[in-house]
């Protein structure tokens, strides 16, 4: 698959296709397991970014557009 996954819906579709591929025997379970673990890391990142945005909003601070949260040093 050379197409980029750009939305959470596309990620879900991709993972459901993997499940069917495993069921149909066209994808090895080990490979699907590794891909699923990577997708889990992406989901954890989504959750973390949402939590940061919520804290910033509650503090009255500006919130970046989703997917543009800076990383690195925090400026005070």
In angstroms, rounded to a whole number, what is the distance separating the alpha carbons of residues 14 and 36? 10
Q: Report the pLDDT value the prediction gives residue 50, as an integer from 0 to 100.
A: 93
In the chain, where the domains are located: 1-76
Model confidence pLDDT, tens digit, residues 28-68: 999 999 998 998 998 899 999 999 999 999 999 999 888 88
pLDDT score of 60 = 94
Contact criterion met (CB below 8 Å) for 49 and 11: no
């Amino acid at each position: 698959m050379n197409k980029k996954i750009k939305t959470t819906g596309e990620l879900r579709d991709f993972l459901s296709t993997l499940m069917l591929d495993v069921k149909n025997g066209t994808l090895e379970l080990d490979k699907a397991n590794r891909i699923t673990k990577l997708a889990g890391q992406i989901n954890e990142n989504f959750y973390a970014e949402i939590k940061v945005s919520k804290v910033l909003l509650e503090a009255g601070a500006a919130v970046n557009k989703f997917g543009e949260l800076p990383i690195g040093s925090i400026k005070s």
